[in-house]
Amino acid sequence: AQSVSQHNHHVILSEAASLELGCNYSYGGTVNLFWYVQYPGQHLQLLLKYFSGDPLVKGIKGFEAEFIKSKFSFNLRKPSVQWSDTAEYFCAVNADGGATNKLIFGTGTLLAVQP
């Protein structure tokens, strides 16, 4: 079945630590890839997206993600996290080439950054 997997359900880091959150998907065709963030009490917000071109994409707040087609992966990274990065992070895939823009989400990773 088509799916999106996020390996880490809970991550706890100290400020200034580096972050990498894993995301793998099982679609075989062309995909559009997204990372969304949900801060406590707020709506889902787009961090970054990949459609084509450079597989290393940069998003807001210093986040970046790398699309590795051979590994079906789109991992999220940040070199130095801040307390304000505490949130839930969702990887999502659109697998219909933008025909509907429908997204399939992973289960999310809850990140807690300790000051």
CB of 9 to other proteins, least distance (A): 8
Q: Which residues make Cβ contacts (< 8 Å) with residue 12, sequence separation at least 6?
A: 111, 112, 113, 114
**Closest to 89 (Cα-Cα) out of 24, 39, 14:** 39
51 binds other proteins (CB under 8 A): yes
Closer Cβ to other proteins, 45 or 80, answer by number: 45
Is the torsion defined by CA of 50, 89, 74, 5 positive or negative?
A: negative
Judged by CB under 8 A, the number of residues near other proteins is 24
30 binds other proteins (CB under 8 A): no
Residues at the site binding other proteins, with contacts judged by CB under 8 A:
4, 6, 9, 32, 36, 42-46, 49, 51, 90, 92, 98, 100-108
